Amino acid sequence: MCGRTACTLAPDVLCKACSYKKNKSDEYTQVEWRSSSDGKEYNQAFNFVPTFYGPVMISKRHLDANAPVENRVIQPMMWGIIPRWHKGSPTKHKMTTNNCRIEGLTESRLYKDPLSKGQRCVVLCEGFYEWKRPENKGGSKQPYIIYFPQPEGISIFEPETWKDRLDELWSKENGWKGPKPLTFAGLFDVWKSPEDGSIIYSYSVITMDSCTAFSWIHERMPAILETEDDVNSWLDYTHVPAQEAISKLKASTILTCHPVSADVNYARNEGSHLTKAIDLNKPKPLSASGKFMANWLGKASPAKIDKSSCVSPPKEGVKRQLTMKDPVQGTSAKKIKEDEPSV
């Protein structure tokens, strides 16, 4: 599955990073950037969640019938396809559409129409988060960030290794030599509001069974387009039929990953620290109840405690329900245990 990503690269960096050769030219061309159809801005975030607007690459012909199909455009779209039959607020359709399973694409009421129309897209981000289940009962899920291997001396999560070298990292002759963003295979659709007639482009990420090299983290993974040929084949809906394009999608085996802070578990948390590698051998900081207990035991002498006047410390493992504001939907939501991701 894929329910959280890191997506912060600036438009000019993405346009360079997705450079391609067109018309059988020997030179590279930067991808064109276009604003979203409904005026919404790209929501750059280290904790990028469904309903945010993220960069999506499509054939320019979808926007201009006279454009060559090989020409490409990057446009911010909303994560989570809006069902075309939905009426009302675009985020209130009550369906989980951030992912679409490859196994049912051709039969799905929601996805088969965009697929048949060639509305295939490439979803861009630095990496996606996934949670490894604990080996022992009662343990915590450990989040990891998964991404492409990077050029030597460059880290996509450390802009200081490349941000001041953009001019030298791209050229018409050699293309892009900087950080390599992930490229997911996805589908997009166009929804028209029955209320005000506004047009919204939205997308879903295609998922499949994980390869054995990745299944130790999770049994599902996004369909990754590893090469330029993969990207071109997926976007070229005029020459590559849907069934053929789907058959070419494979579980990637070239990804790399590292463990990250459990701070990413909560959608409200944000910041570059979420993508930084952590040391799993380093003792984890105490929880609030653990700190309370340690402080209580450290200060109190058993001989001086009047048990009748003491307040018992919180029991370990007890869930504390706390109402908070959901940053994505803006609705009231219940806080869950810290060892589970909250989208």
Asked whether residue 340 is assigned to any structural domain, the reply reads: no
Number of domains in the chain: 2
- For residues 166 and 312, membership in a common domain is answered with no
Same domain, 268 and 186: yes
The verdict on residue 115 lying in a domain is yes
Question: Rounded distance, CA 210 to CA 119, Å?
Answer: 24
Per-residue confidence (pLDDT) for residue 24, from 0 to 100: 79
In whole angstroms, what separates CA 311 from the centre of its chain? 44
- Give the pLDDT of residue 292: 56
Q: How would you classify residue 305: left for phi > 0, otherwise alpha for psi between -120 and 50, otherwise beta?
A: beta
Would you say residue 73 lies in a domain?
yes
Q: Does 342 reside within a domain?
A: no
* Residue 119 to residue 98: CA distance in whole angstroms: 16
- Alpha-carbon separation of residue 278 from 32, 48, 143, 260, 326 (angstroms): 37, 20, 10, 5, 27
- Residue 211 falls in the annotated catalytic set: no
pLDDT at 254: 93
Please indicate, yes or no, whether residues 137 and 256 belong to a single structural domain of this protein.
yes
Instruction: Assess whether 2 carries a catalytic annotation.
Output: yes
Which phi-psi region, left, alpha or beta, contains residue 39 (left: φ > 0; alpha: ψ -120 to 50)? Answer: left
Say whether 218 sits in a helix, a strand or coil. coil
Mean pLDDT by 10 residues, the chain (343 residues): 92 98 91 93 97 98 95 98 92 93 94 96 98 87 96 97 96 97 98 90 97 90 96 96 96 95 96 96 61 55 40 38 32 35 44
**Residues 295, 248: one domain?**
no
Is residue 198 in a domain? yes
Catalytic residue among 18, 70, 121, 130: 130
Domain assignment present for residue 280? The answer is no
CATH number for the domain spanning 271: value is: 3.90.1680.10
pLDDT confidence of residue 138:
79
pTM (predicted TM-score): 0.82
29 shares its domain with 124: yes
Name the residue range of residue 319's domain.
Answer: 288-334
Mark whether 301 and 197 lie in a shared domain: no
For residue 281, being part of any structural domain is answered with no
**Same domain as 321, residue 211:** no
The pLDDT value recorded for residue 213 is 83
Largest Cα–Cα separation, the chain:
87
Please check whether residues 245 and 323 belong to one and the same domain.
no
Please identify, among 227, 249, 275, the residue that sits at the C-terminal boundary of a domain: 275
Same domain? 144 vs 244: yes
- Taking the C-alpha atoms of residue 330 and residue 209, their distance in angstroms, rounded to an integer, is 33
Q: Is residue 305 part of a domain?
A: yes
Gap between the Cα atoms of 336 and 35, Å rounded: 36
167/296 same-domain check: no
Q: Are residues 319 and 269 in the same domain?
A: no
Domain stop point among 228, 244, 275: 275
Are 47 and 139 members of one domain?
yes
Catalytic, out of 2, 7, 100, 125? 2
